[in-house]
Structure 1
Amino acid sequence: MKFICSGSEIDLRIDHLYVAGWTGRNGDAVQHHIDELAALGVAAPSQVPLYYRVSNTLLTQESVLEVLGEGTSGEVEPLLIQDRGRIWIGLASDHTDRDLEVHSVAASKQACFKPAAAELWSYGEVKDDLDTLAMHCSIEEDGDWVSYQKGALSNIRPLAELMEGAGFGDGSAMLCGTLGAIGGVRPASAYRMELQDAKRNRRITLNYAVRTLPIVA
């Protein structure tokens, strides 16, 4: 898969794709979210954090995401990729089928493509400043752009810890968890996402629209 880093195109091999869930650094907040979802019929995770395996072909750079039905939504997440011993950090969306999530979280992760930004940064450049990096997601809702998620990576477990827990290695990519949704998790027609590095005055952006396909019985 091709990405851009420091103005140059790089081709990275991705054989294994992980979606890390329940990665909040505040344990009480994670448990509160587990309890909220349990009330909606979503089963509690078998462990925290949990590393869902999905098809490596789900990572995409397409700007329009086709989904089945009205019950899907995206989440802004840091993306890690390792290839030939080197680690890169970028931005992706864990687009998930929320209707299917009630029956199987693992299946809901597999049901949707995961949009990824074309740009990456060297992980080594930012590894000492990871907690200062910030993410923001806006959604298009009823014709207006609304702030949906916002916060620093300090709200997520240390990325080095997540890589170790997943058994991360060459040929691996991982979406590393997200932030709470302002106003609650809900579908949207389009997304604008950013990973911000204020220290180096730079950002990675990810924009995509959602095209809904009918559910035919």
Structure 2
Amino acid sequence: MSVLTFTLPDDSQRTVTVTRLFNAGYAGRSQADVAAHVAELAELGVPAPDTTPALYPVSPYLAQQTRRVAVQHARTSGEAEWALVVDDTGEPLLTAVCDHTDRQLEAYGVAWSKNASPDVLADRAWPLAEVAEHLDELTLRAWVTDSDGRERLIQDGTAGELLAPAYWVEVLRERGELEPGTVLLSGTIPMVPDIDQFAHIWRVQLADPRTGHEIDLAYEVRPMPEPIG
């Protein structure tokens, strides 16, 4: 179980004791975008899903606010997403998150790959009610930095490209899981072609062009030591 703390725009803080963690997949509003993401994954050997959108339960302790992610090999990468977070008072919050995924394991099962690395959440959030009316305008971007030290834009889109939080609120309500401690990741937007996703650093930004407010996170990807045996 993870305990997360978020700072809101008024500088107050909210605590979330994570009891349920879900990763949405293939959750674009545009079927063309969904097909593009399926094609991206197919290049990595991931079979197409039986149905879209998908929803994968993830171990709650993998919801983390960290600046380092330990990985077992070189074929892991992130995904820029927003996260719907129900805080301990029951209020829905919105924040930025990077779903770090084991691409090698993904070829055997998406649900397995989602449980191999943490979902890295930002430490700032917005009350969902404050952005709900213009949520589609929110921008979602990700950058990667490799060993050469050069930062490259790898994802660039808007929240309007993804199924809205309201959709997932209803899904969770119908399942009886819209409760304090629930965290749901939105699924991701397509990656920019020809950018190496297997990078040393991932950075994600969720921004509100109406207010100029931004929610940022960044973390370093660190290989684990070689095993013995």
Q: One fold, TM greater than 0.5?
A: yes
CA apart distance, 1:40: 4.4
CA apart distance, 1:13: 2.3
CA distance in 2, matches of 1:31, 1:182: 15
Between 1:35-44 and 1:202-211, the stretch displaced more is: 35-44
CA apart distance, 1:39: 5.6
Conserved in 2, the CA contact under 8 Å of 1:69 and 1:215? Answer: no
Matches within 5 A, 1:1-217: 1-5=4-8, 6-38=10-42, 40-83=44-87, 84-141=89-146, 142-166=148-172, 167=175, 168-170=177-179, 171-183=181-193, 186-214=197-225, 216=227
CA distance in 1, matches of 2:226, 2:197: 19
CA deviation vs aligned residue, 1:7-57 (integer Å, no higher than 9, x gap):
122212220000000011111331343245346431221221001000110
CA distance in 1, matches of 2:43, 2:151: 29
CA distance in 2, matches of 1:28, 1:198: 25
Secondary structure at the residue paired with 1:200?
A: coil
Secondary structure at the residue paired with 1:37?
A: helix
Residues 38, 208 of structure 1: CA spacing in aligned structure 2 closer, same or farther, 3 A cutoff? closer
Q: State the Cα RMSD in Å.
A: 1.7
TM-score (norm 1): 0.93
Question: 5+ residue gaps in structure 1?
Answer: none
Between 1:184-193 and 1:196-205, the stretch displaced more is: 184-193
Seq. identity, %: 33
CA distance in 2, matches of 1:17, 1:196: 23
- AA partner of residue 35 (structure 2): Q
Question: 5+ residue gaps in structure 2?
Answer: none
Conserved in 1, the CA contact under 8 Å of 2:68 and 2:221? Answer: yes
CA distance in 2, matches of 1:46, 1:8: 43
CA apart distance, 1:162: 2.3
